[in-house]
């Protein structure tokens, strides 16, 4: 496994890997420019976002994030998605995720990428893959959790993930 991110975020990742007794090669780089030495069979893009999905735990998100933040981050997300798609080997899978409730940062980014890239297709996520929580699977087969999901257990953060496959 290779993790590519900004130096500050990599420091936290290294701490977490050590705490969990896991290993990964870590590379400090701009993912929009960096490319692996060979096409990758799997890419996970946990993109920077407004974090509006964490509002139940961080109520200040509603006050400090604006429409301009969503617009700016959507541009960043598009650049990162394009870079991630370029890294994929034929038949490879890309998982894009954000902890945002904003459609512009989740489903709209996935739709825009699919419109730009005819070589990518959705690979639906099944409820069985996420512990059977069928309410979190969208009609398109993406994962969309909401604060109201599992309310009796305290609820979930808002989260979006889509799985795409690069055609051979």
Alpha carbon distance 133, 131 (integer Å): 6
The 3-state DSSP class for residue 85 equals: helix
By DSSP bridging, strand 159-166 and strand 88-98 are: antiparallel
Q: What is the DSSP letter of 114?
A: H
**Which residue in the list 33, 49, 97, 99 is annotated as catalytic?**
99
99 is catalytic: yes
Alpha carbon distance 116, 43 (integer Å): 18
The 3-state DSSP class for residue 97 equals: strand
Tokens found for residue 61: 């998100």
Query: In terms of Cα–Cα distance, which of 59, 138, 68, 148 is closest to 106?
Result: 138
Name the residues annotated as catalytic: 99
């Amino acid at each position: 496994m290779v993790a590519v991110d900004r130096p500050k975020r990599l420091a936290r990742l290294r701490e977490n890997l050590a705490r969990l007794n896991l290993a990964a090669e870590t590379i400090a780089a701009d993912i929009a420019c960096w490319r692996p030495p060979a096409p990758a069979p799997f890419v996970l893009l946990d993109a920077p976002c407004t974090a509006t999905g964490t509002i139940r735990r961080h109520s200040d998100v509603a006050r400090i994030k604006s429409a301009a933040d969503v617009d700016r981050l959507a541009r960043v997300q598009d650049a990162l998605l394009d870079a991630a798609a370029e890294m994929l080997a034929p038949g490879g899978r890309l998982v894009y995720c954000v902890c945002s409730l904003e459609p512009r940062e989740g489903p709209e980014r996935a739709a825009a990428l699919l419109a730009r890239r005819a070589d990518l297709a959705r690979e639906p996520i099944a409820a069985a893959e996420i512990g059977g929580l069928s309410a979190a699977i969208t009609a398109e087969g993406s994962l969309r959790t909401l604060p109201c999901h599992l309310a009796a257990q305290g609820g979930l953060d808002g989260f979006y993930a889509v799985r795409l496959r690069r055609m051979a």
